[in-house]
Structure 1
Amino acid sequence: MLKRTRSEVEPAADHGFFGPDSVAWRVWGYPTSLTVGFSRAVVVEELDPNLVASVDRTQDIYRRPRTRYDRTIRYFALVAFGDSRTTLQAADVLVKVHSKAIGVEPYGGGRYDANDPDSQLWILVTGWHSVLKAYEMYGPGKLSEAEEAQYWAECAVAAEMQTCDPADVPRSRAELHAYYERMRPVMSGSPIARRAMRHLMDVDQLVDAPLVLRPAQWVVGRFFRAGVIATLPHWMREMGDVRQPRVMDLAARPVLRATFAAVSTSKRLQLRVLGMLSPSTVPVVAPVLLGVPPVSPEVLTPAEARERHGFERPAEAHLAWRRQQHERVFGRGQAPSDAGLVESEEILGRLG
């Protein structure tokens, strides 16, 4: 059965930016990562007042939660596992998508821009940290000091797919904690942030189980939510008004560790679970999980890939287009163009 599954998987063009010897592949390839880890990431992101302002303005996480979740997981999976050309293509079009996520933050009154390097760094660091945190709590456990240093060095490579500076990425647990301490005064548990955080922990909205399986889905959903909350430090819980009895923190860990350990024994089961949450991500992850070799066994640096495939650094990409979007919104008071969002469907998945 596994051989037939492997024969149906289209191989990647290359190993992308990490490859089989990377810590990133080991951590992101464990079933905790694109489930609880990713859910934690999108929940924590909402504490950025500028980011949640753009999320709240579009209302997409409420109007089309499945497609929004699907497209976002696909992007993160592409960075970790995708071939170099497809990943750069996704990073490039995402700059255009983010160019429409601009406006005025409703509580502080300042302008926000989803391409802002500080917001992009927050998304990157909280994403990679959340995946690592889930791996530690519900997976094999903590990495060695050397492995963790490699993981954060690989996170800095991933930063080259965004508008932030790779030099700003923490390179150790101590630097990570220092980063959170610097960001803590900037974060905000606003009403729109709290609403978004509660909404994003509800896995039931993402899976349409048959009626006979709804009770089981309810139980899984409660443990999933408890598992996400259990990974959050108390200051994030207080800021986001996310409350949970300590007994649930304690109960979630052994249940989820056992569940993910069982899922990890079957790559086909792991892909099936991923397919329920993010169907468009399965073709990205399947070659890695099933050991399908790429057409070329290369691991490229972002600089090598950009030169080969002809892409600009995200921070320097589509500057004229971004200026046009700013003029439309801040200059003429019009809605931003959706052209980038439409263009992204071919790469990141359909909008609806």
Structure 2
Amino acid sequence: MLGFKTRAQLASRFEAPADNGFFGPGSVTWKVWSHPTSYVLGFARAVTIEHLDPNLTAAVVQAGGVKYRPHTRYARTIRYFGMVAFGASEPTAKAADVLVKVHSKAIGHDPVTGGRYDANAPSSQLWIHMTAWHSILYCYEKFGPGRLSAEEESQYWRECARAAELQTIDPATVPRSREDVIAYFESWRPHLASSEAAQDMVDFILRLDIALPPDLAAWKRVALKPVLFFLRKGIVATYPGYVRKMFDLKQGRLTDLLVSPPNKAIHALLHRSLNAYFRFVGMMAPAGVPIVAPAKLGIPAVEQRTLTPREAQEAYGFDVPAEAHEDMRRKQRARVFDEHGTPSDEGLLESQDHIGGLAPRR
């Protein structure tokens, strides 16, 4: 997208979605998740804090994708979260169904707790869900426009609960207010652990250059270094003290204060200029561009309707995620826990058509 382009010229590059998905125009989800604070700050904050769940760290480390396919793993994850927020209902419901299969192979023994982990466990899925939705909103507040109105925030958390229907989560367990969200994270503190493996993964992710396309020109990488520096420091500035201690991060409060104005300025510029916004997102999160573009540019959907995930699952013939693919999940558990083998890649291979391809290992 070289040179200045009008909104209409930008819009001409993208296809209209079949429908408005699960939220649509006027939703708080579209307002918050389309803001530029989401794409690096909010997303990186979420995927680092997630590693305080030792089960998640075990799953990530043993799978190896983040270290050996960093750009692909990042792209697939951000594409899926983008689909949940902005995507049309049928392809998103299908992607969520396939993701249950992908997670069926993310099972094994957790060396920290000594127990077993299962990425499809409702508690693990809720942890990932809440760290994402909370982090996206927190960075929007800290480095973007600020606090939502009370009415908007209430709607945001209701929409968060709606999105949880795409995962194995029991929607009744999803917090629905700021106070409930705070209480949820406090309730998790006794379960959190930061192993050497977790700290290593967080250090790796906070480099942020892992998000860049492998073929990005060297001069662009050099030019982005100062921006990535401020983004990295900004992410750490959002961590509460106990998280910094667990990750062994030494950034002080003075640095927090100093990096806030540059981060606000960067994201204010990206918010005001569609051209800057799409150049930035195109470099840092290219897999998300076709998903967010229709919502950001106001491209009307072919059919002006929104569904709940449960309505979509029923309409398109998908099981509720908590009950989906149980036979496959049972076979995977038998392979790993009974036969002491490795799980099959069946779901992972299928997911390429719905969440994004798997690049060769680097």
Q: Is 1:312 paired with 2:322? A: no
**Residue 136 of structure 1 is aligned with which of 138, 141, 144?**
141
CA contact (8 A) 1:102 1:113 kept: yes
> How far apart, in 2, do the equivalents of 1:297 and 1:109 lie?
50
CA contact (8 A) 1:49 1:188 kept: yes
Residue of structure 2 in register with 1:342 after alignment: 349
> How far apart, in 1, do the equivalents of 2:99 and 2:116 lie?
20
CA contact (8 A) 1:16 1:84 kept: yes
CA contact (8 A) 2:39 2:285 kept: no
> How far apart, in 2, do the equivalents of 1:269 and 1:345 lie?
30
Q: Is 1:122 paired with 2:127? A: yes
Cα deviation digits, residues 170-192 of structure 1 (max 9, x gap):
11111111111110000101111
> How far apart, in 1, do the equivalents of 2:9 and 2:338 lie?
57
Aligned amino acid, residue 305 of structure 1: A
CA contact (8 A) 2:269 2:276 kept: no
Q: TM-score, normalised by structure 1?
A: 0.97
Residue of structure 2 in register with 1:148 after alignment: 153
CA contact (8 A) 1:170 1:179 kept: yes
Residue 116 of structure 1: how far off its partner (Å): 0.5
Residue of structure 1 in register with 2:178 after alignment: 173
Q: Is 1:59 paired with 2:64? A: yes
Residue of structure 2 in register with 1:191 after alignment: 196
Report the secondary structure of 1:103's partner residue.
strand
Residue of structure 2 in register with 1:232 after alignment: 239
> How far apart, in 2, do the equivalents of 1:46 and 1:212 lie?
32
> How far apart, in 1, do the equivalents of 2:9 and 2:131 lie?
37
> How far apart, in 2, do the equivalents of 1:215 and 1:340 lie?
38
> How far apart, in 2, do the equivalents of 1:340 and 1:41 lie?
24
Residue of structure 1 in register with 2:211 after alignment: 206
Aligned amino acid, residue 130 of structure 2: V
Residue of structure 1 in register with 2:92 after alignment: 87
Report the secondary structure of 2:295's partner residue.
helix
Residue 217 of structure 1: how far off its partner (Å): 2.1
**Residue 272 of structure 2 is aligned with which of 258, 262, 265?**
265
> How far apart, in 2, do the equivalents of 1:100 and 1:214 lie?
35
> How far apart, in 2, do the equivalents of 1:211 and 1:38 lie?
24
> How far apart, in 1, do the equivalents of 2:289 and 2:108 lie?
34
Residue 283 of structure 1: how far off its partner (Å): 1.0
Residue 214 of structure 1: how far off its partner (Å): 4.1
Residue of structure 1 in register with 2:29 after alignment: 24
Residue 193 of structure 1: how far off its partner (Å): 0.9
> How far apart, in 2, do the equivalents of 1:197 and 1:242 lie?
10
> How far apart, in 2, do the equivalents of 1:206 and 1:14 lie?
29
CA contact (8 A) 1:198 1:242 kept: no
Give the root-mean-square deviation of aligned CA atoms: 1.2
Task: In structure 2, list runs of 5 or more residues that go unmatched.
Answer: none
Moved more, 295-304 or 272-281: 272-281
Q: Is 1:97 paired with 2:105? A: no
**Alignment size in residue pairs:** 352
Aligned amino acid, residue 272 of structure 1: R
Moved more, 172-181 or 215-224: 215-224
Question: Identity, % of aligned pairs?
Answer: 50
CA contact (8 A) 1:90 1:348 kept: yes
> How far apart, in 1, do the equivalents of 2:279 and 2:345 lie?
33
Report the secondary structure of 2:52's partner residue.
coil
**Residue 33 of structure 1 is aligned with which of 35, 38, 48?**
38
Moved over 6 A (4+): none
> How far apart, in 1, do the equivalents of 2:218 and 2:165 lie?
44
Q: Is 1:47 paired with 2:52? A: yes
Cα deviation digits, residues 27-67 of structure 1 (max 9, x gap):
00100012210010100101001011000101211111100
Residue of structure 1 in register with 2:162 after alignment: 157
> How far apart, in 2, do the equivalents of 1:73 and 1:102 lie?
22
Moved more, 132-141 or 169-178: 169-178
Q: TM-score, normalised by structure 2?
A: 0.95
Moved more, 190-199 or 202-211: 202-211
Pair 343,173 (structure 1): closer, same or farther in 2 beyond 3 Å = same
CA contact (8 A) 2:167 2:321 kept: yes
Residue 265 of structure 1: how far off its partner (Å): 1.3
Residue of structure 2 in register with 1:219 after alignment: 226
Residue of structure 2 in register with 1:288 after alignment: 295
CA contact (8 A) 1:124 1:159 kept: yes
**Residue 14 of structure 1 is aligned with which of 2, 12, 19?**
19
> How far apart, in 2, do the equivalents of 1:298 and 1:119 lie?
31
Report the secondary structure of 2:32's partner residue.
helix
> How far apart, in 2, do the equivalents of 1:269 and 1:222 lie?
19
Q: Is 1:301 paired with 2:308? A: yes
> How far apart, in 1, do the equivalents of 2:223 and 2:317 lie?
49
Residue 169 of structure 1: how far off its partner (Å): 1.1
**Residue 260 of structure 2 is aligned with which of 250, 253, 271?**
253
Residue of structure 2 in register with 1:330 after alignment: 337
Cα deviation digits, residues 108-155 of structure 1 (max 9, x gap):
210000000000000000000000010001000011222111100000
CA contact (8 A) 1:103 1:330 kept: yes
**Residue 108 of structure 1 is aligned with which of 93, 98, 113?**
113
Aligned amino acid, residue 153 of structure 2: E
Residue 247 of structure 1: how far off its partner (Å): 2.2
